[in-house]
């Protein structure tokens, strides 16, 4: 094969025009300055663009040409074929020009480019310090090291695939151009070579093979995990692919639900022959859009690559293209006014010349694809739902062998079940089965890291690093044309490679260490690190947490035993799936006087049931007392400021589906806002302003209100009242609630809980709790405050109105009296180990 066959169209034209230029000027030799000048005026080439960025003007180069003719006269003396008008003997390349061309060929080879272009020649001309190139650069005020850095960047980013830097028109032009335009009648500049240039198989490698991965290839299938539980989606995929028209399916699902895995499962079926005859011998190629765009610095490069691929696909009906993140084709490559990928693909899809499988999320599909009806109608959607916990367990069972072999662990069934259930419960921002696989994988990695590294592996790492350093030194010597030193490094490379091979054989012969067991505790330990919660909170079994629910709630909520018992019973019943599954997990309306524990019970319930820390979604309904408060909950409608921006309710709920949603002081909300609760309580879901459905079926809904409490009077509702009197109070409260909220809301609330007023004994207990909280803050000062029951009762007596006092007044009293006293003591630095509260003459003191 002749080396000239590897020249790009622009390089051939550069050589031809340089020879014509020297010939017309009666110069016997083509000097490097002729080549440099032609590059500076040959529009469309990479080198022309690079010289333009360097601010090197053709007029600066003209000063150094042997003959001073205008550029227009020189170019005018060539005909349309690029040949001189007279028949004088053509000029030949000078030694310097030959050296530059050889250096360009070597540069292309080092960069593993399968063609030689003007960019390689420009790099050689500047790097070789040939007169008068350096003088031209200095005259232009350019910085040579910066120029070389820019050229290197372009060469590094250029694709190894042939002809990607040329437009389709230039490709066709190159194929029809004569081989020896500028060497006719002369001895060839370079000898023929038998091996393809750059890549050894570049001429055989198609564009599709270079920019995609064949998923039906047996070698690639070995690295793909088995697909479990997605038979329905794969069957639907096959049905659409077998259609006569519109046979382009697109998989729509949230990130991590298994869209790509479904396509890989279809590829495996095709490889095994478990598909209809129409799909036999098909090949699924996963197109890498990132690689396709990479290096397309100038206009037309991206279109040329993609057009080359589509032409190849159109000529082979057995190819099916898979584009992951399909929405990326909209706008891809559309820099400097060029066409994007979607506009290039639409005609091919419309004519049925290409089968394409896409995958993206519903939001991205709606945002990018649906906005282009001509593109959207080419695809048939397949909705991929999140796997259930049970299906996720089966998936983990099917793929665990791959993770056991990789991490050298044994994964127990309990660990698999824990990974599925705990990830579903606590990793709420991700989706099954991906988050369960992540948890199992990370737990196995953490378990493996506990064991000490093998000494042989440490030696192997040092040997690999040594070999890399030798290869870098050898390459540096080649770049400096110091071939003698490069030969020495080559010998060292051979020896280092032999040492590395022996180490690998030794490691291979030695048996692997005994595998460690990955159990449930390891999963829990790693999950605690991922979600950043204390380990002891996750280690508590769910059953134990439910059994001890009354005790945990009563530790913080005083005087509401009946309410706590009712709430605990409802939560236990719903946790065992004995309640309806199409509604929220539980719904309550807490009714009572201010500061009797309604909001505090909701907060304590969230901390007890969901230790992740973000489980309470508290909405102060006094902020929603206008009709537009609906947009705060669901998001602004389309066309209004704030559309598609984060909101206070649905976004939090999507991230934390297992949560307690507290509508605090629901009676202060606007009627339009309370109407939203009808849908939430009835269907267990709500639709936000973008049309996204948000599920509340794992959430506990709590509303608090004081409506009816005052009308019921000061008499408490409790067991110390006679049955008739208590029922009378309940009737008063119920009638007042129906009058205010309406029966349609109250009938949807699962349980209405009436809170008792607090008596002095309850207030004394609350004072003790507040004192305990203060002692926690005083720990860092190594002191504490103690109080007898008598003193606690005295604190209650000192409240402004003990008979109608509440928890908030007790908290205020502790803050204003005890905290102030301790602040003075700490500032005066007279801290003792402990202090006793005493009461005298309506005042309290610390001793």
- As a three-state string, the secondary structure of 693-704 is EEECCCCEEEEE
* pLDDT tens readout for residues 422-451: 888 778 778 888 999 999 999 999 888 776
Full-model pTM? 0.59
pLDDT at 113: 76
* More confident of the two residues 821 and 83: 821
Task: Name residue, tokens 């007042």.
Answer: 736
Find, among 208, 233, 380, 202, the residue nearest to 283 by Cα.
208
Window from 60-69, 611-620, 806-815 with minimum mean pLDDT: 60-69
**Does the pLDDT of residue 617 top 70, yes or no?**
yes
Question: In this structure, which long-range contacts are made by residues 645-653, counting pairs with CB atoms below 8 Å and at least 24 apart in sequence?
Answer: 647/688, 648/619, 649/617, 649/619, 650/686, 650/688, 650/692, 650/694, 652/617, 653/617, 653/694, 653/696, 653/699
Measured in whole angstroms, how far is the alpha carbon of residue 114 from the centre of its chain?
Answer: 35
Q: For the residues 646-674, what does the mean pLDDT come to?
A: 82
- What's the burial of 585, exposed, middle or buried (CB within 10 Å: 0-12/13-18/19+)? buried
644: confidence class by pLDDT, cuts 50, 70, 90: low
CA distance linking residue 278 with residue 247, whole number of Å: 13
CA distance linking residue 595 with residue 809, whole number of Å: 9
pLDDT at 701: 92
Task: Name residue, tokens 């005994």.
Answer: 514
Q: What is the dihedral of CA 11, 17, 18, 24, to 10 degrees?
A: 170
pLDDT at 184: 40
- Written as one string, the DSSP assignment of 356-368 is EEEEE-HHHIIII
709: left (phi over 0), alpha (psi -120 to 50) or beta: alpha
pLDDT at 416: 93
Helix axis angle for 46-53 and 144-157, nearest 10°, is 150
Q: For the residues 743-751, what does the mean pLDDT come to?
A: 86
Q: For the residues 87-92, what does the mean pLDDT come to?
A: 66
* More confident of the two residues 367 and 613: 367
84: confidence class by pLDDT, cuts 50, 70, 90: very low
* pLDDT tens readout for residues 510-526: 656 778 889 988 998 88
For the domain made up of 540-754, give the CATH fold.
Answer: Rossmann fold (3.40.50)
**Helix, strand, coil tally for the chain in percent (to 5):** 55, 10, 35
SS3 660: strand
* pLDDT tens readout for residues 465-510: 888 888 888 888 877 777 788 888 888 888 888 888 888 877 766 6
**Does the pLDDT of residue 413 top 80, yes or no?**
yes
Find, among 155, 161, 236, the residue nearest to 198 by Cα.
161
**Residues 825 and 781: beta-carbon distance below 8 Å:** no
Query: So what's the architecture of 207-383 in CATH?
Result: 3-Layer(aba) Sandwich (3.40)
304: confidence class by pLDDT, cuts 50, 70, 90: confident
CA distance linking residue 354 with residue 202, whole number of Å: 25
pLDDT at 556: 83
Task: Name residue, tokens 């000490």.
Answer: 452
157: confidence class by pLDDT, cuts 50, 70, 90: low
**Does the pLDDT of residue 720 top 60, yes or no?**
no
For the domain made up of 3-176, give the CATH fold.
Answer: Double Clp-N motif (1.10.1780)
| β-pair type (409-411, 516-518) | parallel
Number of neighbouring beta carbons within 10 Å of residue 456: 13
Window from 75-89, 106-120, 603-617 with minimum mean pLDDT: 75-89
**Does the pLDDT of residue 188 top 50, yes or no?**
no
Q: For the residues 794-819, what does the mean pLDDT come to?
A: 78
**Does the pLDDT of residue 589 top 80, yes or no?**
yes
537: confidence class by pLDDT, cuts 50, 70, 90: low
CA distance linking residue 703 with residue 686, whole number of Å: 17
* More confident of the two residues 222 and 203: 222
pLDDT at 613: 62
Most confident residue range from 407-416, 538-547, 652-661, 744-753: 407-416
**Residues 669 and 629: beta-carbon distance below 8 Å:** yes
Rounded to whole angstroms, what are the CA distances from 367 to 154, 169, 383, 592?
Answer: 34, 35, 16, 47
The mean of the pLDDT values for the chain is 78
For the domain made up of 760-846, give the CATH fold.
Answer: Helicase, Ruva Protein; domain 3 (1.10.8)
**Does the pLDDT of residue 724 top 70, yes or no?**
no
**Does the pLDDT of residue 172 top 50, yes or no?**
no
pLDDT at 715: 46
Q: For the residues 605-622, what does the mean pLDDT come to?
A: 81
Number of neighbouring beta carbons within 10 Å of residue 773: 11
Residue 454 tokens, joined: 């093998």
Query: So what's the architecture of 389-451+516-527 in CATH?
Result: Orthogonal Bundle (1.10)
Q: For the residues 789-799, what does the mean pLDDT come to?
A: 80
CA distance linking residue 581 with residue 575, whole number of Å: 11
**Residues 317 and 357: beta-carbon distance below 8 Å:** no
| β-pair type (835-840, 843-846) | antiparallel
* pLDDT tens readout for residues 354-365: 888 999 988 888
pLDDT at 420: 92
Residue 447 tokens, joined: 């378990």
Window from 183-187, 404-408, 536-540, 573-577 with minimum mean pLDDT: 183-187
pLDDT at 193: 33
**Does the pLDDT of residue 69 top 50, yes or no?**
no
pLDDT at 560: 86
What is the strand order of the sheet 355-360 is part of?
212-214, 283-287, 319-324, 355-360, 249-252, 380-383
Q: For the residues 551-571, what does the mean pLDDT come to?
A: 88
**Residues 27 and 91: beta-carbon distance below 8 Å:** yes
Find, among 37, 55, 40, 292, the residue nearest to 150 by Cα.
55
**Does the pLDDT of residue 93 top 50, yes or no?**
yes
* More confident of the two residues 156 and 313: 313
CA distance linking residue 294 with residue 89, whole number of Å: 45
383: confidence class by pLDDT, cuts 50, 70, 90: very high
């Amino acid at each position: 094969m002749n080396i000239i066959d590897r020249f790009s169209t622009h390089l051939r034209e550069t050589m031809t025009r340089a020879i014509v230029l020297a010939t017309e000027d009666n110069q016997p030799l083509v000097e490097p300055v002729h080549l440099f000048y032609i590059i500076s005026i040959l529009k469309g080439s990479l080198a022309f663009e690079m010289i333009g960025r360097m601010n090197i003007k053709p007029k600066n180069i003209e000063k150094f040409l042997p003959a001073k003719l205008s550029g227009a006269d020189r170019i005018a003396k060539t005909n349309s074929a690029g040949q001189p008008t007279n028949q004088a003997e053509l000029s030949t390349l000078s030694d310097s020009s030959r050296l530059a061309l050889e250096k360009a060929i070597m540069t292309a080879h080092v960069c593993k480019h399968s063609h030689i272009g003007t960019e390689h020649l420009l790099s050689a001309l500047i790097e070789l310090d040939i007169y008068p190139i350096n003088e031209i650069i200095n005259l232009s005020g350019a910085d040579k090291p910066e120029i070389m850095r820019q050229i290197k960047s372009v060469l590094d980013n250029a694709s190894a695939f042939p002809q990607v830097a040329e437009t389709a028109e230039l490709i066709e032009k190159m194929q029809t151009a004569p081989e020896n335009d500028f060497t006719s009648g002369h001895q060839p500049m370079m000898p023929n070579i038998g091996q393809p240039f750059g890549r050894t198989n570049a001429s055989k490698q198609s564009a599709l093979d270079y920019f995609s991965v064949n998923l039906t290839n047996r070698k690639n299938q070995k690295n793909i995990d088995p697909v479990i539980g997605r038979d329905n989606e794969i069957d639907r995929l096959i049905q659409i692919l077998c259609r006569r028209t519109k046979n382009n399916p697109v998989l729509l699902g949230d990130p991590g639900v298994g869209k790509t895995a479904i396509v890989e499962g279809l590829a495996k079926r095709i490889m095994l022959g478990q598909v209809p005859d129409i799909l036999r011998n098909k090949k699924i190629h996963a197109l890498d859009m990132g690689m396709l765009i990479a290096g397309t610095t100038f206009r037309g490069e991206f279109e040329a690559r993609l057009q080359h691929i589509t032409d190849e696909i159109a000529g082979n009906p057995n190819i099916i293209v898979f584009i992951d993140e399909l929405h990326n084709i909209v706008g891809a490559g559309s820099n400097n006014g060029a066409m994007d990928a979607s506009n290039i693909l639409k005609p091919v899809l419309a004519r049925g010349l290409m089968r394409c499988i896409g995958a993206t999320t519903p939001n991205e599909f709606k945002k990018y694809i649906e906005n282009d009806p001509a593109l959207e109608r080419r695809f048939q959607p397949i909705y991929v739902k999140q796997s259930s916990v049970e299906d996720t367990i089966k998936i983990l069972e099917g793929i665990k062998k791959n993770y056991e072999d990789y991490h050298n662990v044994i994964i127990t069934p309990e660990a698999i079940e824990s990974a599925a259930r705990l990830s579903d419960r606590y990793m709420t921002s991700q989706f099954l089965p991906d988050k369960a696989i992540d948890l199992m994988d990370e737990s196995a990695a953490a378990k493996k890291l506990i064991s000490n590294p093998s000494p042989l592996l440490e030696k192997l790492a040092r040997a690999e690093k040594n070999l890399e350093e030798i290869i870098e030194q050898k390459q540096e010597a080649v770049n400096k044309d110091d071939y003698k030193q490069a030969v020495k490094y080559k010998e060292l490379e051979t020896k280092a490679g032999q040492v590395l091979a022996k180490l690998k054989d030794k490691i291979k012969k030695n048996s692997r260490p005994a595998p460690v067991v990955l159990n449930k505790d390891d999963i829990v330990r790693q999950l605690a690190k991922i979600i950043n919660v204390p380990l002891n909170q996750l280690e508590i079994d769910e059953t134990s947490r439910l059994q001890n629910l009354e005790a945990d709630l009563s530790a913080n909520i005083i005087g509401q035993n009946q309410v706590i018992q009712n709430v605990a019973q409802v939560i236990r019943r719903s946790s065992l799936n004995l309640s309806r599954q199409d509604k929220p997990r539980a719904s309550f309306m807490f009714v009572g006087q201010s500061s009797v524990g309604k909001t505090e019970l909701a907060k304590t319930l969230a901390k007890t049931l969901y230790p992740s820390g973000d489980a309470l979604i508290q909405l102060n309904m006094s902020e929603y007392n206008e009709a537009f408060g609906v947009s705060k909950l669901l998001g602004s409608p389309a066309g209004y400021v704030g559309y598609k921006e984060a909101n206070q309710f649905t976004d939090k709920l999507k991230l934390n589906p297992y949560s307690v949603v507290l509508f605090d002081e629901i009676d202060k909300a606007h009627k339009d806002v309370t109407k939203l609760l009808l849908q939430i309580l009835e269907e267990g879901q709500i639709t936000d302003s973008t049309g996204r459905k948000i599920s509340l079926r794992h959430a506990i809904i709590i509303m608090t209100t004081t409506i009816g409490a005052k009308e019921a009077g000061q008499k408490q509702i409790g067991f110390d009242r006679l049955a008739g009197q208590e029922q009378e109070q309940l009737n008063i409260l119920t009638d007042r609630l129906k009058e205010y909220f309406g029966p349609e809301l109250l009938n949807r609330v699962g349980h209405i809980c009436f809170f008792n007023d607090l008596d002095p004994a309850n207030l004394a207990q609350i004072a003790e709790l507040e004192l305990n909280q203060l002692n926690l803050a005083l720990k860092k000062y190594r002191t504490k405050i103690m109080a007898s029951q008598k003193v606690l009762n005295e604190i209650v007596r000192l409240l402004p109105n003990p008979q109608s006092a509440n928890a908030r007044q007790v908290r205020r009293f502790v803050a204003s009296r005890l905290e102030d006293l301790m602040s003075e003591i700490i500032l005066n630095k007279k801290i003792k180990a402990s202090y006793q509260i005493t009461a005298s003459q309506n005042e309290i003191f610390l001793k």
